[in-house]
Each structure stands twice: as C-alpha cells, then as structure tokens.
Structure 1
Amino acid sequence: MSEALVLQSDFGKCDGAVSAMYGVAQSVNKSIRIFDLTHDIPPFNIWEASYRLLQTVSYWPEKTVFVSVVDPGVGSDRRSIAIKTASDQYVITPDNGTLIHIKRNIGIAEARIIDESVNRLPQSGESHTFHGRDIYAYTGARLASNLISFEDVGPEVPVESVAELPIADAKIAGRVISGTIDVLDVRFGNVWTNIPSQLFKMLAVNYGETVQVTLKHKNQVICSRRMVYGRSFADCSVGEAVVYINSLEHIGIALNQKSFAQAYDIGTGSDWGIVIEKITSH
C-alpha cells in the first residue's frame, strides 16, 4: 500500500498544471492516494509556502510525502531537495527557503539532493520550467509508492546546508512582547504571529483584559490600538478586535466577523512586526 502524497503549489487551478502533476503521480502508481494542501499560495511567496507546511505536516501520518512547489528560481542552479522531518514525514521541494519553518519548529532529521539523472520523468529532459511535474511530483510519487527508498532520492547533504529565509524569534522584555506576522488566515483575514502562547502567558494577562497592540511594517506603524484578550472571536462585539490563541497555539489577531488584514492592509514576513504591551492600571 502506498503512502499519502500531498501537493502544494502557487499554480492555482485555472489551468492544467496541477492536473499534470496528478497525472504524473498516477502514471507512477494508479492506486496512489493524492491530496491537496493548497494551490493558492500567492505567486512566488516562499515564506507562505513554508508556513503552510508547518501548519499541516505534523498532523499527517508518518511516511506521508509532501511535494511543495513555489519556485521562482526554477531552471536556475538552486538545488532540488528532499528532507525527512523529525516527525518522520518527507518533503520534496526546491531548496529556496521553503523549509525554514519546519527546520526551526519541527526539525529536519535528514536531507538529500534529488539525483535528477534517475529521479526525473522520462523524456522530460528538454524542459526546464516545470520541475513540479517532471521532478518533484514524479519523485514524490515514487517515494510514496515505495518504488524508491529515501536513500534512493540522491546523495545526503548536511541539514545545516538547507536554505533559510530571514526569521526572528518572538521576545519578551518586561511587560512588552515583540514578534513578527508569520501568515494570514486568508479566508477570514485574521493575523497569525510567531508569538507562542506560552510566551504571551508570561505577561499574565487574563481573559477579558485589554492589551496595547502595535503593528509595524519596516518600523512604520500601521495600526496601534487596544484589544481585548479573548478565548474566541465571540468575546468581543462584531467589528471589534480580539487577541486570541490560534489553532497552532500562537497569538492571533482578528476582527469579529470582519477581515483585520483587509482593514489595515496587513502583509506577512520578517519585515512585518507586532508589539503587544500589557496595560497596567494606575
């Protein structure tokens, strides 16, 4: 029995790219089980691809194979890589920073460069712009189908050599926590930060109390306002802001039944900062 193959990309589904990846996997093994993580990563947004893997990978069974293709450097000398996570799943992807959140939060047990001389769709050697189909989906399907072992993917390389993106840890100083905006809860416009719940709890803020929240882009203040700390969105009135612990047990910010990201034109990444300050009574 094959393992699950989970696909992620920035291709969208308006053309045949995703279907072609499915077709390649089916040509390897007609009984393979294929699932979509998402194909709506914003074009070329490596950071978001990295975070969506973090959001998903550890909830899948051991040996699940993920193929993530957000590849603005396709056809260049960037490496094609496969990694085994510390929780025993596999990810096949361009080595362009897509693995930074897994590397820092889950851990990489082993990394291998894909040997394209054997792990490439037959008769696809003239194309250099669709590695998602010709290399990643093909290799991922073979690995998930147990037609190759992880060792057969290619030569091992040091985990330390896996490419990274700039990333910072959340910090606390007195009654102030600073962090970054990692990703958006896209459909609802909630803002997800890199501030873990345990760090936030060090402020000793109780449910129903308010904190001062400031959002910055490249040190320019975008929004600064008081927000209630609640268990869920319903702990404030419709349209009001709430600070809450999201499904990954990090701090999130939302407007009840409205989009916070749209209201303030919020983006994501290491140059989007957040500061949360406990309000002391006088």
Structure 2
Amino acid sequence: MCKHLVLQTDFGIGDGAVSAMYGVAISVDPELRIFDLTHDIPPYNIWEASYRLYQTITYWPEATIFISVVDPGVGTDRLSVVVKTMDNKYIVTPNNGTLTHIKEHLGIAEVRVIDEKINRLPRSGHSYTFHGRDVYVYTGARLASAIIDFEEVGPKVDVDVIIRMPKPEAKIEEEIVKGHIDILDIRFGNLWTNINRTLFAEAGIRYDDVLDVTITNHSQQVYKNSMTFSQSFAKSRLGEPLVYVNSLDKLGIALNQGSFAKTYQIGTGENWEIWITKVSST
C-alpha cells in the first residue's frame, strides 16, 4: 500500500482540527507522508468537495489514500465508507454525495463500510462530532500503513449505495451550447463550466471565434457579452473577457488578470446556467 495520505476538509486552518488529524495519522505510523488537497472547501459544500477530488485524484500514484471530510451529517446514520476507484486509489469519506464526480468520471470498483468497532481511534467512543479525526483519518492511516488491508475496513456493499448529487449535463440545442457554472477557479476568479472542449468542437467552434456568452441565475440574466475563444490569455488584452479551455479540458470564462466572478457577482451550481453561441469566425 502507498504511504501517501491526502487530506481535504472544510475545517480551515484557523484552529487545531487539521493538526489533530495529522497527529492521529502520525501516531498510527510516523513514516506516513501527509499532504493537503485543501482545507478551504466552503463549510458544508459537498458539491465542491466532490469536484476538488475529481480535479486532483488522477494525478496521484496508485494506492494513494484520500480522506475527504465535508460532513454536515456527522453523528447521523449516514454511512462512513472507503471506496476503491477503478484506477486503484482509495477515498475515505462520508457517503453524502462527495463521490458524485468520482463515480461518474473515474468509476468505483468496490465499496466498504467502515467498521467502527475495529477502525476507530481508541478512547473516542463517546464523541460523535469529529469523525474526520476519530474514524476517517484513523482508518486511512491504518490502511496506508498496511496495519489493515482493504477487506478489513469493514463489510462490502454494492456500489449502487453511493449517493450522487444531481449533475446537469451540457448540451447543444439549436446551435447554442448550454451548460452550467460548476465551480470557480478561486484564486483567479475564473468560471469553470461543465462544457467539454469536445462539445465545443462538435458545435463547430474554433479558437479565435467570437462568441456571445449569456449567464443566468434562476433563469434571470446576470451577464451578456461577446468575447473571443482564446488558446491563451496572452492573446487578449488586460481586463478583456475570454473563453478558454481549462486544466480539466472544459470551458472556462475569465477576465484577463481580473476576477470574472467578483466583477459580475457570478456563483456556481445547477441554478447558474451559461449559453454560448458563435457570432463570427476570424
């Protein structure tokens, strides 16, 4: 088993929660290598946790253990699981929708429910509010260090037990490419859509084409403008809007060296729709 643990939470780093998770893991095995995916998931935002796993996981070695804790249902009867992906990575997480993108885009080979009689931090049995420390990182560390194997996590259940959140699909209708704003490229304020580059090609859109872009929230228009489909940011002027292909081979919307999301108050999710139409070719 790979001795890599990759942690993702909505805890932030303003208190000792993440440090406590590190401490539990190192107490299990001081030779574990622990990395942070992010601890800045917005509180309770399961959708973003799902997306950030999808954004990252394929670039890690086989047998890497991911621990994702965005868990508004902590202490309830929601399942705690470890899944093995089709490309042989492991994710320790509550079964609350966090695996939506992994299940669709990567595939899940096997699911096991964590048996807390075996895989729970000793002397933590009366705490039901910090499963990230007491159950998830403890189980992940034991798995990564080969103290337990995958079968010893707990009973196997059907892959269909994994909860998926609603996930709209991009499409072409009457020469309009229609999609949704899935997530933000947070630091730069770019919009990442669910529109694949291949769908753009299917619509006959090529680099340097001029496009009409309309963004709505709950069907109310928030933004409408023309911009160029650019291969790089260097082909646009400072402050100019553009459409580009992001690192996941999907379409992004940006202001060159500005925050599109902040400038136009754009959010994310199934209520945020984007329509793109080709105006002309250059």
TM-score, scaled to structure 2: 0.97
String of CA shifts for 1:67-89, please: whole Å, max 9, x gaps. Answer: 00001111111111111111110
Is it true that 1:245 corresponds to 2:211 in the alignment? no
How many residues in Structure 1 have an aligned counterpart in Structure 2? 281
* Structure 2 partner of 1:84: 84
Is it true that 1:199 corresponds to 2:199 in the alignment? yes
String of CA shifts for 1:3-48, please: whole Å, max 9, x gaps. Answer: 2100000001010000000000001001100000000111111100
- Structure 2 Cα separation of the partners of residues 201 and 232 of structure 1: 17
SS of 2:56's equivalent in the other structure is helix
* Structure 2 partner of 1:39: 39
* Structure 2 partner of 1:15: 15
The residue identity in structure 1 corresponding to 2:119 is N
TM-score, scaled to structure 1: 0.97
SS of 1:200's equivalent in the other structure is helix
* Structure 2 partner of 1:221: 221
- Deviation for aligned residue 1:206: 2.4
- Deviation for aligned residue 1:2: 4.6
Is it true that 1:147 corresponds to 2:147 in the alignment? yes
The residue identity in structure 2 corresponding to 1:91 is I
CA-based RMSD of the aligned residues comes to 1.2
- Deviation for aligned residue 1:280: 5.0
What stretches of structure 1 of length at least 5 have no aligned partner? none
SS of 1:141's equivalent in the other structure is helix
* Structure 1 partner of 2:256: 256
- Structure 2 Cα separation of the partners of residues 231 and 97 of structure 1: 34
- Structure 2 Cα separation of the partners of residues 31 and 190 of structure 1: 38
String of CA shifts for 1:135-187, please: whole Å, max 9, x gaps. Answer: 00000101111111111111111111101111111111242111111110000
**1:97/1:165 contact within 8 Å kept:** yes
- Structure 2 Cα separation of the partners of residues 280 and 207 of structure 1: 11
**1:212/1:227 contact within 8 Å kept:** yes
**1:2/1:33 contact within 8 Å kept:** no
What stretches of structure 2 of length at least 5 have no aligned partner? none
* Structure 2 partner of 1:178: 178
Runs of 4+ in 1 over 6 A off after TM superposition: none
- Structure 1 Cα separation of the partners of residues 243 and 74 of structure 2: 39
- Report the identity percentage: 58
SS of 1:279's equivalent in the other structure is strand
- Deviation for aligned residue 1:109: 0.9
* Structure 1 partner of 2:6: 6
